[in-house]
Chains A and B, each alone.
Chain A
Amino acid sequence: MIQVKSLQFEYPKGPRFSFPDFSVDTKDHLLILGKSGIGKTTLLHILAGILPSSKGNVMINETTISQLSATQLDCFRANHMGVVFQKARFIQSLSLLENFQLAAYLAGNKYKKKHYSDLLHTLNMADYLQKRPSQLSEGQQQRASIAMALVNQPSVLLTDEPTSSLDDENCEQVMKIFKELCETHGTTLIIITHDQRIKSHFNNVLTL
């Protein structure tokens, strides 16, 4: 499903990272642990196809993403990848529903409204569909951003420090949601974090 081979990245005039080879099977989970500054976010961006690697390659669903053209990559990203960031991100001028609809539009998909409300429903946020992101609490925003990442039913969900700003209770809740959602949608989950609390949830742990 996901295969990473001899991956290297070098920032111009910056640090150079070499990443260990690893692979994740379909519907499996992988926790990538590492200290700050070790290139966790860089790895996530390379996996998500928003940063080209310097060397090596990443294969996702039999596709080597470094071989895709810019347009193909945009399209691939839209349909195969869901990304949850450390800080929840939305288009501030749009309601949650509109944000979800925009994500679907950009991927060339169209869903009924039920699809979006179902997504929020599983996160216990069904009432917030028409709310603006700024009207939500931080925890709610993080959960809503997970819902948004899943709008286009991606085969891979990449998450970058999704729990670092959450307290223990919220952290547990979010981890539970991730596992449930990925199970029901058949999504491969990769979590990149330095948060040791969630280690116990995973069998597959890669330490950078």
Chain B
Amino acid sequence: MNILSLVIKNILYKPLNSFLCILLIALGVGIISLLSHTQIQLNDTFTRNASKTDIVVGAKGSPLQLILSSIFHIDSPTGNISLKEAEKLKKNPLIASAIPLSYGDNYAGFRIVGTRYEYLELYGAEISEGKLWAGVYEAVIGEEVAKKLNLKIGDEFASAHGFMEGGEVHDDEQYIVVGILKPSYSVLDQLILTSLESVWEAHEHLAHEEESKGEAIKDETHEHEELHLHDDKESHDHKKSHDHEDEDNHAHHHEEDDRQITALLLKIRNPIGLMQIPRQINKNTQMQAASPLFEVGRLMNLSDQALKMIEMIAYLIMLVAGLSVFISLYNNLKNRKGEMALMRVYGASRKQLVYMLILEALILSAIGFIAGLILSRLGLWVVNFYINSTIPAQYSGFHFIIQEFWLLLMALAIALTAALLPAVNAFQLNISKTLQND
């Protein structure tokens, strides 16, 4: 039996009191820690994906929407742009690379993106199984897609129009999984990648179907026609064969000029280009250019404000927690004055009583702190579970961050402050008077 075990017995003797203290500290610590992790995670995810691309070119509209849809694949695209016009940009010597993306379909909620192999290189993604797409309707799937949908090489699936599950299914043509990517902890983990031609072809099929449905949807059909490139599967190498004749009666003789893409990801050679090119594009073309880093920065600023607000509430909870530790200790002090006097009679020094009270406060807040960390890890796990379906994160959150060290110091400081007045009272305890009155 020593002071430490006495303190533990005292804490256990009033379980509800102790539980309330611990709960309040745990809530405060948990919320602040969770917020810090979430902030880091968002920053990490956004910058990891956004920093690979200098400028995104897409249809006119909201630049934020363009970035969200083309970089993170979490919003609808602003529209389509002409491939021909987009490719013209490549002639600009300031542009190091340009990766076309064409998207608008999904399978089971995962977006199907038609692109070139450079898109994989952009995120350093590698094939873990199978091979890269070669022919039309060959798809390479991200690691998360494979895991969540349990897709294997050779599996077939039909794409659906739009980005939500349950869109109109293009069930004539089945995609076939030819490759699965290693996790790259980028947006690619959540995507189904294929050639531009596959996407164009899928939409052409849809166009055919709709056309045959009748006059009423002709306008709509026209839109889809513009996405169309080939009827012929063998001619997926679009550069070569374009003088084909359709086998069916719907003669869609599209020129290469009519082909459309959804966005073009640009890598710029130098800072001058970074200034000039967006201006040129926005001024001289029907397209718009947006900077991922700039838009993400704006978004982060907005979310930071909201997070700050929640953080304030969490600090308030911490304050109340400190108050509750104080009240609990102070009440105990009143109830335990007689016990402390008894301890003094048995030879306990003033210091030992002070030590006892401070130890009790420290143990309560330390347990609260640990419980808070566990709470925040559980929270992160839940948050990640939901966020992961839209934004992939490498961030597991199960490590410690510097903010948590400050939180620990703060929890301990609160404990010490709460123990201060009771400790002073214990130090000044009048043994004789207490024994006579109590």
Contact = CB atoms under 8 A, between A and B. Distances in A.
A83 interface: yes
Interface of A: 41-42, 45, 48, 50-51, 70-71, 74-75, 77-79, 81, 83, 85, 89-94, 98, 101-108, 152
Contacts of A91: 6, 9, 339, 342-343
Contact of A71 (B5, B6, B342, B349): B349
B339 A50 contact: no
Nearest to B1: A101
B339 A106 contact: no
B435 A107 contact: no
B345 A77 contact: yes
17 contacts: A45-B432, A45-B435, A50-B344, A50-B432, A70-B350, A78-B346, A90-B339, A92-B13, A93-B6, A94-B9, A98-B9, A102-B343, A102-B346, A104-B1, A105-B2, A106-B346, A106-B348
Interface string B3-14: 001100110110
Given A93-B9, A93-B10, A93-B13, A106 B347 contact: yes
A85 B339 contact: no
Interface residues of chain B: helix, strand, loop or mixed (majority): helix
A199 to B, nearest CB: 24
A48 B13 CA distance: 30
Given A78-B346, A105-B1, A89 B338 contact: yes
B222 to A, nearest CB: 83
Contacts of B12: 93
A110 to B, nearest CB: 10
Interface of B: 1-2, 5-6, 9-10, 12-13, 338-339, 342-350, 352, 431-432, 435-436
A101 B435 CA distance: 22
A50 B347 contact: no
A108 B349 CA distance: 12
Question: Which of A85, A104, A106: most chain B Cβ within 10 A?
Answer: A106
Contacts of B436: 41, 45
A48 B9 CA distance: 28
A75 B339 contact: no
Given A50-B431, A89-B339, 9 more contacts: A51-B432, A70-B350, A77-B346, A78-B347, A81-B345, A92-B13, A93-B13, A102-B1, A106-B346
A63 B286 CA distance: 103
B347 A79 contact: yes
A98 B343 CA distance: 13
Question: Which of B1, B2, B338: most chain A Cβ within 10 A?
Answer: B1
A74 B6 contact: no
A43 to B, nearest CB: 11
A92 B13 CA distance: 8
B344 A94 contact: no
B13 A74 contact: no
A90 B346 CA distance: 11
A109 B235 CA distance: 95
Contact of A89 (B1, B13, B342, B349): B342
Nearest to A132: B13
A93 to B, nearest CB: 3
A48 B436 CA distance: 14
B345 A50 contact: yes
Given A51-B432, A101-B1, A102-B1, A94 B6 contact: yes
Contacts of A50: 344-345, 431-432, 435
A98 B348 CA distance: 15
Contacts of B346: 77-78, 102-103, 106-107, 152
A123 B342 CA distance: 21
A106 B435 contact: no
